[in-house]
Each structure stands twice: as C-alpha cells, then as structure tokens.
Amino acid sequence: MGNCCSDPTNFDAEVDLYHFDLHRAVGKGAFGKVRVVEHKKSKKLYALKYIDKARCIKQKAIANIIQERRLLEEIDHPFVVNLRYAFQDDENCFFVLDLMLGGDLRFHLERLRYIPEKVVRFWTAELSSALEYLHKQRIIHRDLKPDNILLDAMGHAHITDFNVAIHYSERRMHTSVAGSMAYMAPEVIGRLGYTWSCDWWSLGVVAWELLFHRRPFDGRSAEKMKHSILKDTVRFPSNAKDKCSKEGQQFIVGLLDRNAKTRLGCRKELEIDDIRHHPWMATIDWDTLENKEAQPPFVPDMKKANFDVSHELDEFLMVEKPLTHSKRKQNPDLEKMKPELRQLEEQFTVYDYSKNRRISYYPHNQPLTNGLHQDESEGSEIIQSTTNTLIPTSTMVHPSRPGSPLNEDDLQQYLHTHAPIPSLSGHSQDDDGSQSRNRSSESTR
C-alpha cells in the first residue's frame, strides 16, 4: 500500500520502507510479523521481517537483534534465506529477506501423511550444503528444525532464523544452552562444550522427524527429554523399513552419534565428504544440486497459501496496529536517547545488497554480553530463547514455533494469485518470523 499522495520515491537515497509496496502478512513472531513486499523499482518480491523496538527493549533482546543483523550480512548461499536489505524507522527494525513462498517444513509435516524418503534425502543434501557453508563462515546455527527450513516455490530447502546463531571460537568450546530442546545435541543440552558439530546432530533429528512423523528423543518434561537425548538408545519405529532404506537409517544414526568427533560430517579428516560419499547420497549430483539445477522431488502447491492465513485476521479485526510508511525524525539527538535505542541507531546499520559488499564481523561479532562479571571460561553470552525473551547462559532455552517467514524473488504471478488485501497495511511485533511462549518442554504440535 504505497502512499498515493506522497512524493516520488528517491531510489538513490538510502533504502527505507518507502522503497517497497506492502502486501500480505505471512508469518508472525514475538516481536512483529513477516509480510510479502515488492520493491517498487525492481518489482522483485521479498519477505519483510519487522521488529517492534519497544517490545524488543522490554524483553532485553537488543543485543540479539544486532547480532542477527550482522551475521546475516556475512551470509550469501543458495540454500539460506539471505538478507537483501536492512534499515530502521523510529518504531521498527526491518530485515528484507529472500521470499520463500513454499512454506516451512513444519507446515508440510503437519499436512502430509507421509513424506517419501527421496524427498527427505534431497532436502537433507541441500541443508548439508548450507551447513557446510555456514561452518566455513565460522557460524553455528544452533536452531535447525523443520520450522526454520523454508521451501521456495520450486521446492528447494533453505535455512532461516539466525536469531540464536553465533560465531564459533577456535579458542574454547561454547557452553551456553540455546535453541529448541528437542533438536539440541547432547553436548549442548549437557553443557559439555560444543562447536559447529552440534548442527549435524540437529539435522539428524530433522531427517528422522520428516521420515517418521515423530522425533527420536522425547519426553513429557524438560528433564525427561534431556535424559532421553543424553542416554536413550536410538530405536527406529517398527515400520521404519517401510519408510526408509537401510542406507538412510545408517545415515541418520551416523548424525545421531553422541560422540561429536565420530559423528557423520564431523570426522576431522572427512567432514563434508563423509556426507557426500555416504551410500544414502549416491544418487545426488552435488554440482547440479549446488547450482540449484536439480529438480526437487516435492514441489509446493502454489495455488494454495503455504502458511497460516490467520496472520492477516488481526489486522482485519483491528487487533493490531497496521504497519505504515512513516518518515523518520530528522537528526535525532543520540545523547538524549535511551541507551538501547542509541545502540540500535549506531549498530543496526543500513544494508543494501545492490550497493554494499558483504563483510565479515568476525571476530568482532563475538556474542554480545550482559555486562555481568562471569568466569571467562563460561563467557558472558546472553542467549535468545525461542520466546524472544533473553535468558542467561545457565538457563535452559526451550522451543520456538515459527510461522513462515517466506521467500522467492521472481514470482510476480503470486500477486495475481494472492492479491494484496486493499485495506491491509501491517503491524509490528516479530523478531524471527516465528515463535511461541516458553514451555518446560518442547511440545511440537
């Protein structure tokens, strides 16, 4: 919904919300929403994730927002939901991301009675490629799960939500507990010290869940789930051989190795070759796959909305304040600002992928701290819980249940198939296009 009486948009100026037309809401999180936007000049579609500053300050989440913004600037990969623009106005911080119109894997997991093995293998291969890239960038995602894997319109899988992602250190293992409990590696949940290898465990849990519609480790309480992850023997369902080949089962068991040094994808001398040369991946042409030229075996139905359409109802019912284009206050006095707002002004900087070269903030992007003195070996890292409430390192972080921050650039027909709602102009309240309240255990639908 552009401003019909406004001055023409100045595309030579720094990017801001006026550069985009706002379309429908497609996801919701703790601090705001995700909606489809169209760049007025290029006509490309993106996902706009916006974060209410006031809500973010109230939940002491500023450090995480800035860290996510910085990490996203470092990343550019075909199987990641990449950042294209970042900016802010007086009320919100904005991430403009690749648009994934195929929905998240949680959405499809809940609607499909059965996901064929060849589909799970294809997604696992694409996700393996993305994880290899992230780890080379010295980034641990820490929250890989079906909710944070989005499909584009063709059916390619992409990792999203870098809200608890961090750079890993060569000097010391991380011990803070972050992510969604059911997908945490034993070394994370047991505070044994971990690095990038924990993401491969999470991939194993995801592949298992997609194949068998349940998870390998569960429990009715946080304590029981923790015990299951640390101690329980991996047992396949009785009908496993009907749903997954022996090679597939071996692959998943390899990922669910409690010893991170011998885990599939983590053995020092092999690493990614361990994945690529595994018999389960024998049919994958990796060059074709990584050029995004391989035909996905599952293609989302684009005639339907692959997300929860209820996100728009709040705006229809006027429960929420719509997102609108608004001019910023000119020359704000940083000295008079709240410290948190000043930090956002100074550190949540403008990014425009068409003008800015991607840079690495490592090692300066080490976890931002809470200012309390702690033992150096522990680090004073603050972890974002999946509820978007900051939780100190000693506290267990539980689940997030995202809506779908979507994405795909060249689907102009989407606007014809899913016409924007005329009276709709938005809202503000998300941080990662997802989330729910904190619980003592991860109860996933």
* Residues contributing to the annotated binding site for ATP: 49
Name the nearest CA neighbour of 141 among 180, 81, 203, 199. Answer: 199
Instruction: Pick the catalytic residue from 16, 143, 257, 430.
Output: 143
Sheet with 33-39: strands ordered across: 20-28, 33-39, 45-52, 92-97, 83-88, 351-352
Name the nearest CA neighbour of 34 among 48, 44, 23. Answer: 48
Q: Are 38 and 415 in contact (CB under 8 A)?
A: yes
- Count of beta carbons in the 10 Å neighbourhood of residue 197: 22
Which residue do the tokens 């298992």 mark? 208
Residues 351, 75: Cα–Cα separation, whole Å: 13
If DSSP codes are grouped into helix, strand and coil, which group holds residue 9? Answer: coil
143 carries an active-site annotation: yes
Task: Cite the annotated binding site by residue number.
Answer: 49
Q: Are 144 and 183 in contact (CB under 8 A)?
A: yes
DSSP 294-310: S--S----TTS-SS-GG
Torsion of the alpha carbons at 214, 219, 220 and 226, rounded to the nearest 10: -140
Residues 99, 106: Cα–Cα separation, whole Å: 17
**Lookup: tokens for 81:** 């939901």
Residues catalogued as catalytic:
143
